Structure 1
Amino acid sequence: MTAAVRRWNHPVSAWAPPLDGDALRTVLEKVRQWQPLDIDGLLDDIAAVLDDVPPPEENVEELAGRLRGHLVRLVTVAVAAGAEQDITAVRLLDQARTRHAEDLPGDHRRAVGQLRRMGWTASELLDRLVATRCLREVV
């Protein structure tokens, strides 16, 4: 014996996309530009600038660019995860924003000093994000 199937008699409105075409293109462009937080790369760059041996002069600009990118991604993670509720995290976020905005000095010795400050800030912020459970523990 088969059961009778009930028909759907309720009106259903037509589906409408949540965004218009321009907004969808903007979202798509942002997704294409997105770069995930590369913890291994971050730790390698921190190690390179905090090592006893300073990075060679020809690597300073490249390291500065990568560290700036790491700082931006760490700040983004912190803000998205609500780390601004933590006083220490707020201080580190301010430092990260300041370090990101600073121009690299022309003198190699001063540039290395700035790289080390950027690396130290990135390291401390990473540790704080793990401590506040904004990120999983880094192994």
Structure 2
Amino acid sequence: MLTKVRGWRPFDGESLLDDVGAVLDDVVPAEDALGDHDLRLRGRLMQLVAIAVAAEAGQKDPEAEQLIERARRLRTEVMPGDHLQAVGHLRRMAWSVNELHECLGAIKCMREVA
């Protein structure tokens, strides 16, 4: 239990949007930054899915259920080794993070949507 408490991180909508923006920006992320972006976006997907499941968002809204399933699928995919394919994968994850975040706010599963 103590390990879970130590690993817990409060939701930070502003830094979530920073992570999404860094990947969806017009400037393609540098190859040496892809791994870091991948870890952060996977963490964002995990956190949003956990919030959605706890709030029973999938039962409240069919769109939320689709977004949850897409987030789970993307989170399990391995990032491609090719730079441009990896950027495409990261952008799909970033869009998924953004859409799930907005959906959870719209159906009142989150108090604050930055």
TM-score, normalization by structure 1: 0.78
% same residue: 51
- C-alpha RMSD of the superposition: 1.0
User: 1: distance between equivalents of 2:106 and 2:112?
Assistant: 8
Larger radius of gyration: 1
**Aligned residue for 1:75?**
49
**Aligned residue for 1:31?**
5
TM-score, normalization by structure 2: 0.94
**Structure 1 or 2: more helix by fraction:** 2
Structure 2: which 5+ runs fail to align? Answer: none
- Offset from partner CA, 1:36-75 (integer Å, 9 cap, x none): 2221111001001111111111110000000000000000
Higher relative contact order (CA 8 A, sep 6+): 2
Bigger mean CA deviation after superposition, 49-58 or 115-124: 49-58
Instruction: Confirm whether residue 105 of structure 1 aligns to residue 63 of structure 2.
Output: no
Instruction: Confirm whether residue 42 of structure 1 aligns to residue 13 of structure 2.
Output: no
- Alignment size in residue pairs: 113
Does the aligned pair in 1 maintain the 2:13–2:112 contact within 8 Å? no
User: 2: distance between equivalents of 1:52 and 1:75?
Assistant: 27
